[in-house]
Chain A
Amino acid sequence: MMKKRGKYIIAALLFVVVFCIGALFQSYTAIIQGQNSLFLFTGDYFRETFAASWPLSHLLESFFLQFYEIPMVGPLLTALIVTLIFLLYSFFSQRISSPFPIVEVFQIVDAVALACFSWIYASMAETPLILFKILLISFGLALVALFAKKKEAVKLKIWKIAVIALFVIGSALFISISKDIRSVETTAKVRYATYKGDWNTVLENVTPKSSIERPDLMPYAFLAMGYTGELGERLFTYPIQNIEDFDMEGIQSIEGNYFNSLLNYYMGNYNEALHHIFQYSCHFPHGITHFSLSQMIRYNNLLGKYSMVRKYAQILIHSPRYSTSASKLLKRFEGAQDSIPPAGHLSSVARTTTNNPQYDLLQLSLAGINSKIAQERFLCYLMLQGDLDNFVEAFRIFEWERIPRHYEEALLLAGVDPNEFGISAATQKLFYEISFAMAQADIPTVDRMAKGSYWEYHFRKQKEGAYDSGLDFDL
């Protein structure tokens, strides 16, 4: 009785540890994995799944993964599967005799080891597919073992308990301190917060300090600051080295497409948001995900393309996870007529975007999309390029209650009349002090005073000779 109970105590402990570690260190990773999954009860879906290798594991993974999008369900299901692997394999190893006595000695330990290695491997992979492969194999082995005669259960010796504890604690430690896993989790957290419009979380997780190690996340912070109106105030407190650090324009990666889709959505450029979500979808096995389907519904709704909203909702009805919400959505959009352009309208007159952010932002404005984020991003591009003449021109177009700090810095560099623009006395004072220090060639003072300002970025770029415009500011 005691021997039997030992196995279930290990299973319970394994479940608790895997769940807790998952909840603490991989909860956002699981949400993003859930977003990127797809499971549909449609003919095409099953045809495509069975055309690929390991179809059953893919099917099983996709089925479970769709629920990972619900907070905490991912860690819970992962814990359940790891525990199942342990139970199934230990069932097998307790029934099948091995020609090697050493295998018998390690009974139970081998099942824990298999569960732990699968867990670690799955935690480090893009998706937990390996768990489902191992689960299927374990299930197959357990089925085979059903036909074997049950052996007497081996007593859990102290050394075994120690080794099992070592495996479980070691795996937990490995996952909780792994730099890669933490990095993926941070990215997932930032991505999810951006999707939700939770700008405080974005800015809490992408700070000037953290950006030294993770400059790739800075575009999320700049998007958040565009939304909170802090871009002109805080942009250069981040370690931005080049214009490329500002966004992910032209980056055709999962990350780039995800970011650009949300950026364009928040700027009100829904066609581009759709463009990037389509591109994003192409990175996944079925060329579409639950997330991209729901985003396509969102963007098409904003564009007044209700036929498309209905189509995607009808598809999502075939997903166990989204069936109910998709049915409600379908009812809401029943009979809604598409917003179509007037007769004779030709799309050739429409403004277009390319992969040139500055040009695109200008086009956005010319197309009548008055997005505050787009306007500020446009000013930032001009600053980052050192194109101060155009910066001043563009700055005059927009209205300001209070001029953000970095814009004041750029205006002073451009040589405008500070009083005409209403530049604060504090910034003017600092500018003249830095100018004086520069005239004295007191570089340490200049560096100290300019730190975290547009001037710091500008002087560095001038020194590097990196501005295309070849601006020359003789201070």
Chain B
Amino acid sequence: MKLIKYITGIALMSILLHSCSGAPSESIPSDSYPDIIPDYIGVTIPEGIAKLTFEMADGTNCRYEMEREGDTLWYTVTSWRKGDKKATLHKSFPVYISSDPIDPYIAYRLIEPGYESWHNIVIAQRELATYKESRIVSNRANDMGCVNCHTFDSGNPKKMLFHARGKGGGTVFIDEDQVRIINLAQIGAQRQGTYPAWHPSGRYVVFSSNNTRQCFTINEYQPIEVYDTASDIILMDLQTDSVMLVPQLSLETRMETFPSWSEDGSTLYFCSAASVENVANNRGQVHYRLMSAKFEDGQFIGEPEELFGDDSCSVSFPRYNDGYVLFTHTAFGTFPIWHDEADLWMYDIETKEAFPAEILNSDKAESYHSWSSNGKWIIFGSRRLDGRYTRVYIAHYKGNGEFDKPFLLPQKNFKHNTLRLKSYNIPEFIKGEVKDYEKAVSKLFK
């Protein structure tokens, strides 16, 4: 035992020495913050999140010391180049700790940011307090078909659904140990489900049913445009397993998509655009509006109301919280992740005004987002790191439509973000750990 301790001690010492080797003994103080990647300067994090790791953006060596003062962590970074006689001691930067709790897990899909095909797709989960990532289900379970659109019933890790495409495919519903697959296209409205939204009561799920296509631009900065040629909203009653087309949300002349419920389930928010002929060539004319529809006793009541939008923008992924709807704002179209101009905006239900959530946005795409179960945090996908591979950011909600500076989901080593050849897709908060359903789902496809 002593010997093991001795060897471990020697190993740790050598690692420590190695990490500091070449560090000059003297340093010159600097008035500026260190240029670190990811930018964690002044971000707000939840208590207990995994340690933030970063490096100097210009690749120089660095080490840091961290000190906690109340609800603020102060990071003091020293950086130096190989061969420097003196290091630079940068101005200490703060990281604020919020007392608002956050859900312990997040779920996302890992997929290549590619085109029509894919290879490995995994719906994974990540414990926020650690770097532990584990599988919920992968497309090995359905013979390398697509798995997508995972959704939880109000963040409940025991109740979820996702689509598993391919031969024998359909929508997989998980309720604790009960795993079943239903091909929505074979019942009721005979439409395939795409974007789902689980009603807070847990009884209903609305899906948009989209006919999605792609076109490819010639040497344009944005390489792909993904668009719908048609889309409608369907409602599923999980008590009877029946599916019906919602007539007022399935107009022939319009495309309805991205359904999302209010907290109490009395309102469905969604997006709707006028149908356009030859969408690929006229994609600049496709402008989705933010809409709402009233829902009561399992039925939609009255005509939908247009809340926001005009012919200069397009709305995607409306998500309600605290009197506001957070949505993705683009110049046109329905697939923001390929749009560099895509930003997160807030719509104030009371004042009927929409405004950009500036602090969340970058010059690259911000896209899918969702609220934590207590409405105090948001998680969203952004391509700000390299323009192609979506990474997950988390931001604290201050209230009154305002956010604190977001932070990149911490990894054990920042380089993981560079080395991972997958995008993080549909990040969602979950209230606990989800079981590995790989085997159970595989059985559905045998």
A residues whose Cβ falls under 8 Å from a Cβ of B: 40, 42-44, 48, 51, 252, 268-272, 274-275, 278-279, 281-288, 303, 305, 307-308, 311, 314-315, 318, 334, 338-341, 345-354, 363-364, 367, 369
Contact = CB atoms under 8 A, between A and B. Distances in A.
A303 B112 CA distance: 20
Contacts of B120: 48, 286-287
Given A44-B420, A44-B421, 4 more contacts: A311-B418, A349-B284, A354-B215, A369-B219
14 contacts: A48-B120, A278-B115, A278-B117, A279-B116, A307-B386, A307-B387, A314-B418, A341-B221, A347-B221, A350-B218, A352-B216, A352-B280, A352-B281, A363-B218
B341 to A, nearest CB: 8
Interface string B396-439: 00000000000000000001101111100000000000000000
A278 B389 CA distance: 13
Nearest to A279: B117
Nearest to A40: B419
B284 A270 contact: no
Contacts of B118: 282, 287
A350 B225 CA distance: 10
B331 A346 contact: yes
A353 B426 CA distance: 28
B116 A252 contact: yes
Contact of B114 (A40, A268, A279): A279
User: Which of B112, B114, B284, B331 has the most A CB atoms < 10 Å from its CB?
Assistant: B114
B203 interface: no
A51 B331 contact: no
B367 to A, nearest CB: 15
Contacts of A318: 419
Nearest to A43: B416
Contacts, number: 129
B280 A354 contact: yes
B69 interface: no
4 nearest A-B pairs in the assembled complex, by CB-CB distance? A348-B284, A287-B119, A350-B220, A282-B117
A76 B138 CA distance: 38
B109 to A, nearest CB: 14
A329 to B, nearest CB: 14
Contacts of A287: 112, 118-120, 421
Contacts of B374: none
Contacts of A48: 120
B421 A367 contact: no
A315 B115 contact: no
Contact of B216 (A252, A272, A282): A272
A352 B116 contact: no
Interface of B: 59, 112, 114-120, 138, 140, 215-225, 280-281, 283-284, 331-333, 339-341, 386-389, 415-416, 418-422
B223 A275 contact: yes
Given A311-B386, A369-B218, A346 B284 contact: yes
A437 B272 CA distance: 66
Given A278-B115, A286-B120, A305 B215 contact: no
A434 to B, nearest CB: 40
A278 B422 contact: no
A51 to B, nearest CB: 7
Given A43-B416, A288-B421, A352 B119 contact: no
Contacts of B415: 314
Contacts of B331: 346, 348
Contacts of A303: 219, 221
A345 B363 CA distance: 13
A271 B219 contact: yes
Most buried by A among B116, B218, B220, B280: B218
| Residue in A42, A269, A341, A352 with the greatest tally of chain B CB atoms within 10 Å | A352
A305 B117 contact: no
Contacts of B115: 275, 278-279
A267 to B, nearest CB: 10
Interface SS of chain B: loop
B119 A284 contact: yes
A16 B185 CA distance: 61
Given A271-B218, A279-B115, A51 B223 contact: no
Contacts of B223: 271, 274-275
B216 A271 contact: yes
A347 B335 CA distance: 13
A347 B220 contact: yes
B276 to A, nearest CB: 11
Contacts of A42: 419
A91 B112 CA distance: 46
B419 A338 contact: no
B32 to A, nearest CB: 19
B216 A353 contact: yes
Contact of B219 (A44, A270, A346): A270
Nearest to B110: A44
B116 A351 contact: no
Nearest to B333: A348
B218 A352 contact: yes
- A282, A286, A338, most chain B CB atoms within 10 A: A282
A281 B119 contact: yes
Contacts of B220: 271, 341, 347, 350
Contact of A308 (B119, B222, B387): B387
Nearest to B59: A334
Nearest to A287: B119
Nearest to B280: A352
Contacts of B386: 307-308, 311
A19 B206 CA distance: 63
Contact of B421 (A270, A272, A315, A350): A315
A363 B217 CA distance: 10
Contacts of A354: 215-216, 280
A186 B106 CA distance: 50
Nearest to B386: A307
Contacts of A315: 418-419, 421
Nearest to B114: A278
B333 to A, nearest CB: 8
Nearest to B389: A311
B403 to A, nearest CB: 25
A179 to B, nearest CB: 31
Contact of A44 (B116, B215, B388, B419): B419
Given A42-B419, A278-B114, A269 B389 contact: no
B218 A282 contact: no
A470 B224 CA distance: 36
A364 B218 CA distance: 7
Contact of A340 (B221, B225, B332, B421): B221
A43 B225 CA distance: 32
B378 to A, nearest CB: 25
A285 B340 CA distance: 31
A43 to B, nearest CB: 7
Contacts of B225: 347-348, 352
Contact of A282 (B114, B332, B389): B114
Q: Which of B117, B216, B333 is packed against the most chain A CB atoms within 10 Å?
A: B216
The interface centre, meaning the residue of B119, B220, B415 with most chain A CB atoms within 10 A of its CB, is B220
A101 to B, nearest CB: 45
B411 to A, nearest CB: 10
A385 to B, nearest CB: 22
A341 B363 CA distance: 12
A83 B386 CA distance: 46
A303 B218 CA distance: 11
A354 B115 CA distance: 13
A283 B120 CA distance: 10
A369 B217 CA distance: 13
Contacts of A339: 221
A421 to B, nearest CB: 31
A43 B415 CA distance: 11
A349 B331 CA distance: 12
A350 B419 CA distance: 31
B137 to A, nearest CB: 12
